[in-house]
Amino acid sequence: MYVDWITWSIWLLGLVILVVWIYVPYKEFKTLLAKHQNKKTSSEKPPTSSGKTT
């Protein structure tokens, strides 16, 4: 069976980029989301008697 290595090399390179760009931004998004949720939670906490948020 004939394998066109030029076409499949380009395709494979594209596939690697696709996989990396699904995995890494997803991981980075989860970190950002956690950061935003923490920020939201801390800003929603009621102030203590000293007037400071915990």
Partner 1 sequence: MTLFDGVIVVVFLIITFFIGIFFYKWVGEPDDFYLAGRQLTPFILAAVITATNVNLYSFVGQAGIAYKHGIAILWQTWTGNMALVFSGLFIIPIMRRLRIRTIPEFLEFRYDKGVRTLVGVLWVFRLAFWLGVVLYTAVVAAQAITGITSFTFWIVVFAFIAIVYTMLGGMWSVAFTDVVQFVFMLGGALIVLPLAMAAVGWMPGLIAQLPPDSLTLVRAEGTYNWKFILAIFLLGIEWASVDQGLLQRAFGAESTRSLAKGMVLAGIITTPFALLWNLPGLAAAVLFPGLENADQAIPTLLANMLPTGILGLVLCGLISSQLSTISGNLNGVATLFTNDIYESLKKRKASDREILFIARTMTLVIGILMVVFAYWVPKMGGAVEAYLTIIGIMDMPLFIVAIFYGLLWKRTTPAAAWAGYLAGALMGIYGKMVLGYDFNMTTFLSAGAALVVTPMVSLLTRPVAVEKIEIVWRARQISDEELASGHIYHIIPRTLKGRLAFASYLVGVVVFLSGVVLGHQGTPLASWVAVSGMVIYFLSALVRIYVE
The answer to whether 21 and 13 are in contact (CB under 8 A) is: no
Give the position of tokens 């997803």: 26
The answer to whether 42 and 53 are in contact (CB under 8 A) is: yes
Out of 1, 2, 41, 50, point to the residue binding partner 1 (CB under 8 A).
Answer: 2
Q: Does 42 help bind partner 1 (rule: CB under 8 A)?
A: no
Q: Does 6 help bind partner 1 (rule: CB under 8 A)?
A: yes
Question: Which residues form the interface with partner 1 (CB under 8 A)?
Answer: 2, 4, 6-8, 10-11, 13-15, 17-18, 20-22, 24-25, 28-29, 32, 35-36, 40
